[in-house]
């Protein structure tokens, strides 16, 4: 839980993440897990989770693992592949760093619905602006 509290403190000024209900559940050297309880405000006109919400949870999961491993890291690029509509009461995003080369990092994030089915897969690259021990 120490890692979770550290990252919650790191993101305490992230009003957007807090406003849409993103929660840091776990952070290790291997992965970060983010969850959100879906509300009507997260849904699109078809009644499923809006694509921007899916991207937001994935981006925050990337930010969490990257800034845990290499503070301060910013997103360079992100790609999302939507696999199915998310008619769900919650989401879980699991981020794992796949490579680090110099000041560049590459991560994969998988987003799951409440049945633990994959909703989308995302790939992010980041630039490590600063380095510090965690």
DSSP characters over 32-87? EEEEEE--GGGB-TTSSB-HHHHHHHHHHHHHHHHHHHSSSEEEEEEEEEE-S---
Superfamily of domain covering 2-128: Hotdog Thioesterase (3.10.129.10)
The tokens for 103 are 């000041």
> In the block, which residue shows the tokens 């490590």?
128
86-118: per-residue pLDDT in tens?
999 999 999 999 999 999 999 999 999 999 999
27-68: per-residue pLDDT in tens?
999 999 999 999 999 999 999 999 999 999 999 999 999 999
Give the residue among 111, 126, 18, 104 at the shortest CA–CA distance from 61.
111
Among left, alpha and beta (phi > 0; psi -120 to 50; other), residue 79 is: beta
Residue 134, pLDDT score: 46
């Amino acid at each position: 839980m120490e890692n979770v509290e550290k990252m919650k403190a790191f993101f305490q000024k992230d009003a957007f993440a807090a406003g849409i209900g993103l929660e840091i559940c776990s952070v290790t050297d291997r992965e970060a897990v983010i969850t959100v309880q879906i509300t009507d405000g997260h849904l699109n006109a078809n009644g499923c989770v809006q694509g921007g919400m899916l991207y937001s949870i994935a981006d925050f999961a990337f930010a969490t693992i990257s800034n845990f491993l290499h503070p301060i890291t910013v997103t360079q690029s992100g790609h999302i592949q939507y696999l199915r509509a998310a008619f769900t009461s919650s989401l879980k995003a699991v981020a794992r760093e796949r490579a680090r080369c110099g000041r560049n990092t590459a991560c994969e994030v998988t987003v799951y619905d409440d049945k633990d089915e994959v909703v989308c897969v995302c790939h992010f690259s980041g630039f490590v602006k600063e380095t510090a021990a965690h």
